Amino acid sequence: MQPIRKTAYKLWISNIVNAEPIMDIGKFKGVTTIINQNKVQVNRVNIIANVIDVFKIEEKQYGSITLDDSSASIRVKFFNQDIDKMKDINIGDTIMVIGQLRMFNDEIYITPEIVRKVDAIWLLARKLELEKIFKLKAEQQATSQITQTQEENTNIMASNNTENNVIKSNATITKPNAETDQTNELLPNETSNENDDNVEDKTITTAIIKQKIVDALKQNEEIEIDKLMLSLQHNHEDIKKALDELIEDAVVYESRPGVIKLM
């Protein structure tokens, strides 16, 4: 019977290099990372990223390529006959690598089983896939925190109500001021209107920034994101939000780390 091949997990590179290594009697067994709110032991991965460096020593049958997916970078190392897998790989290529995780001198790297060139659009697709997975995880964590905060607030309100009841029982009851009540009734609606205006303003701002980014890309084949941030006279968070929406809508894509182009 053939051994069951372990799952090759789709992850950000940062999920690998920043994860906790698993050691067993001094031997590296993989990394521990969080997937769908569960701790998972990962020792086989499926990565799509851009090649930012290529190194090869033919006579020693050793080579390596460095991958970057905009979250972090990691090396893929080739030994002996595996060096043939990197013969057509060049800096700037987008590739998919499936392989095992290894560690040497505190550096986690990948030993490849499959190395294949892919179109740059696959990097965008993988980013959207991972953003959806880890956004869901973040939303679940946020929901848990909100629930906890609501429970704490309920306990505080219950405690305050008890104290107020004690105070009222020892105080003279006064007639409510009708004018004050009417004023207080207006406050929630006024706050609601202010919030609606803020949301509308942010939506308009995002639309303006998105148009500016598209116009800039029509004049230039590609633009570095850092230079774009400096050239647009808007809050960096607003620019990032607009850029994320353009990427999600497949209007632009990251052709290589830190550089965007029109689709």
pLDDT band at residue 165 under the 50/70/90 scheme: low
Is a pLDDT exceeding 80 seen at residue 173?
Answer: no
The C-alpha angle with vertex 179 and arms to 177 and 185, in degrees rounded to 5, equals: 105
Question: Would you say residue 261 has pLDDT above 60?
Answer: yes
Domains and CATH numbers, the chain: 9-118 (2.40.50.140), 198-263 (1.10.10.10)
pLDDT score of 65? 96
Task: Give SS3 for 180.
Answer: helix
Q: Which of 218, 211, 245, 247 is nearest to 70 (CA)?
A: 247
Instruction: Tell me how crowded residue 30 is: count the other CB atoms within 10 A of its CB.
Output: 25
* This prediction's pTM: 0.52
Question: How many angstroms from the chain centroid is the CA of residue 100?
Answer: 23
Distance CA 11, CA 101 (A): 13
DSSP state of 6: P
Kindly list the distances between the CA atom of residue 98 and the CA atoms of 95, 118, 152, in Å, as whole numbers in the listed order: 10, 13, 46
Q: What phi and psi values does residue 135 have, to the nearest 5 degrees? A: -70, -40
| pLDDT > 90? residue 182 | no
Q: What is the pLDDT of residues 80-96, one digit of tens each?
A: 988 999 988 999 999 99
Q: Do the beta carbons of residue 52 and residue 66 sit within 8 Å?
A: yes
Residue 92: predicted pLDDT: 93
- Alpha-carbon gap, residue 23 to 25, rounded angstroms: 6
Tell me the per-residue pLDDT of 22-74, one tens digit each, with 9 for 90 and over. 887 778 877 877 766 677 888 899 999 999 999 998 788 899 999 999 899 99
- Cβ-count burial of 209 within 10 angstroms (0-12 exposed, 13-18 middle, 19+ buried)? buried
Contacts 24+ apart (CB under 8 A), 199-206: 202/238, 205/234, 205/238, 206/238, 206/241, 206/242, 206/245
**What whole-number percentage of the chain has pLDDT above 70?**
71
Q: Which of 206, 228, 204, 205 minimizes the C-alpha distance to 216?
A: 228
For residue 176, how many C-alpha atoms fall within 13 Å in the half-sphere facing its CB? 7
| pLDDT per position as a tens digit, 125-146 | 888 888 887 765 545 444 455 5
Picking from 59, 60, 65, 73, the residue whose alpha carbon sits closest to that of residue 18 is 73
pLDDT range class, residue 181, cuts 50, 70, 90: very low
Lowest model confidence (mean pLDDT) among 4-13, 33-42, 105-114: 33-42
Residue 138 has a pLDDT of 46
What lies within 8 Å, CB to CB, of 201 at 6+ separation is: none
By three-state DSSP, how is residue 259 classified?
Answer: strand
pLDDT recorded at residue 161: 62
pLDDT at 117: 93
Q: Is the pLDDT of residue 229 over 90?
A: no
